[in-house]
């Protein structure tokens, strides 16, 4: 009788289409976020995260329409991230049916925005995305910094201190992505996940680097994450969410079946 650890598949969406191939048997249109979200829901995903990578401002309307369609058919929590800069952006996403929004760059350029958003919409729907990169040398005490622009731009901010500050300002949850590991498939950066999770009261989602199901287990047991997020291992049909839960359960982790 315990709170379950969560498995969260992430969809990268560009102008209303899922990008980075999705390979499900029996899906008619693998580019349609609604079909992909429904498939994950059928596999018992605990939540769905939708990362909008649409560069153009005009593409935003399409995103809202897509969120609205998913929210009309999939009844598990839906987080939307990507390019959120104002309370109006948040309001529009929530009105479309999102349950949480994930704030990334805007939190770095304007931390007070996190407080403002949490006060207006409630902490429960404000996720702050933390993109961290290791800056210490081998052998030194590990240290991670916040990077923006897909890991290219350093900010000088210490990742653990930053995480604490975001939680204090009102983030209800932190999405911690290792920019060193993202896309590598060699597993989460356990060090940064654990350092942040142990330093804050709010739940932490581990992200970046998942290549197999044991990596998900490690994120929870060693990284102390409350939830694990992955994209490609689920998109390419290598593993289903059910299989991931099976593996977690075998490792003694409480999951929702």
What are the catalytic residues?
12, 131
Residue choice 25, 26, 75, 140 for contact with other proteins (CB under 8 A): 75
Residue choice 36, 41, 129, 159 for contact with other proteins (CB under 8 A): 41
Residue choice 59, 172, 191, 211 for contact with other proteins (CB under 8 A): 172
Residue 75 vs 156, nearer CB to other proteins: 75
DSSP per position, 83-134: S--SHHHHHHHHHHT-SEEEE-HHHHH-THHHHHHHHHH-GGGEEEEEEEEE
Structure-token match 């560069």, residue found:
55
Residue choice 14, 46, 189, 218 for contact with other proteins (CB under 8 A): 46
Which segment (27-35, 158-166, 197-205, 230-238) binds other proteins by CB under 8 A?
197-205
Binding flag, residue 87, other proteins (CB under 8 A): no
Q: Is the Cα dihedral 74, 219, 244, 104 positive or negative?
A: positive
Residue choice 86, 109, 124, 184 for contact with other proteins (CB under 8 A): 124
Which segment (27-35, 56-64, 119-127, 139-147) binds other proteins by CB under 8 A?
119-127
Residue choice 10, 190, 227, 244 for contact with other proteins (CB under 8 A): 227
Binding flag, residue 182, other proteins (CB under 8 A): no
Binding flag, residue 173, other proteins (CB under 8 A): yes
Which segment (23-31, 50-58, 92-100, 156-164) binds other proteins by CB under 8 A?
92-100
Joined tokens for residue 110: 């304007």
Minimum CB distance to other proteins, residue 112 (Å): 18
Exposed/middle/buried for residue 37 (C-beta within 10 Å: 0-12, 13-18, 19+): buried
- By rule CB under 8 A, what count of residues binds other proteins? 36
Which segment (12-20, 115-123, 153-161, 234-242) binds other proteins by CB under 8 A?
115-123
Residue choice 30, 53, 94, 135 for contact with other proteins (CB under 8 A): 94
Binding flag, residue 121, other proteins (CB under 8 A): yes
Binding flag, residue 202, other proteins (CB under 8 A): yes
206 close to 225: Cβ distance less than 8 angstroms: yes
Residue numbers at the binding site for other proteins (CB under 8 A): 1-6, 41, 46, 71-73, 75-77, 94-97, 99, 119, 121-125, 172-173, 198, 201-204, 224, 226-227, 256
């Amino acid at each position: 009788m315990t709170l379950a650890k969560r498995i969260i598949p992430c969809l990268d969406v560009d102008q209303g289409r899922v990008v980075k191939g999705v390979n499900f048997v029996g899906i008619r249109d693998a580019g349609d976020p609604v079909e992909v979200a429904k498939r994950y829901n059928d596999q018992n995903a605990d939540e769905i995260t939708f990362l909008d990578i649409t560069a153009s401002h005009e593409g935003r309307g399409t995103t809202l329409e897509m969120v609205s369609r998913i929210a009309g058919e999939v009844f598990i929590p839906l987080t939307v991230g990507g390019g959120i800069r104002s309370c109006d952006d948040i309001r529009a996403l929530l009105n479309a049916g999102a349950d949480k929004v994930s704030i990334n760059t805007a939190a770095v350029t304007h931390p007070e925005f996190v407080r403002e958003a949490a006060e207006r919409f409630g902490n429960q729907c404000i996720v702050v995305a933390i993109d961290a990169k290791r800056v210490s040398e081998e052998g030194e005490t590990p240290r991670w910094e916040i990077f923006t622009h897909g890991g290219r731009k350093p900010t000088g901010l210490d990742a653990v201190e930053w995480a604490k500050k975001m939680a204090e300002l009102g983030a209800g949850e932190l999405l911690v992505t290792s920019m060193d590991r993202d896309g590598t498939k060699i597993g989460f950066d356990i060090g940064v996940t654990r350092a942040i999770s142990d330093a804050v009261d709010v739940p932490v989602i581990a992200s970046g680097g998942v290549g197999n199901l044991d990596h998900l287990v490690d994120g929870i047991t060693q990284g102390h994450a409350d939830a694990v997020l992955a994209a490609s291992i689920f998109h390419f049909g290598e593993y289903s969410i059910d299989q991931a839960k099976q593996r977690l359960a075998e490792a003694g982790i409480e999951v929702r079946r």
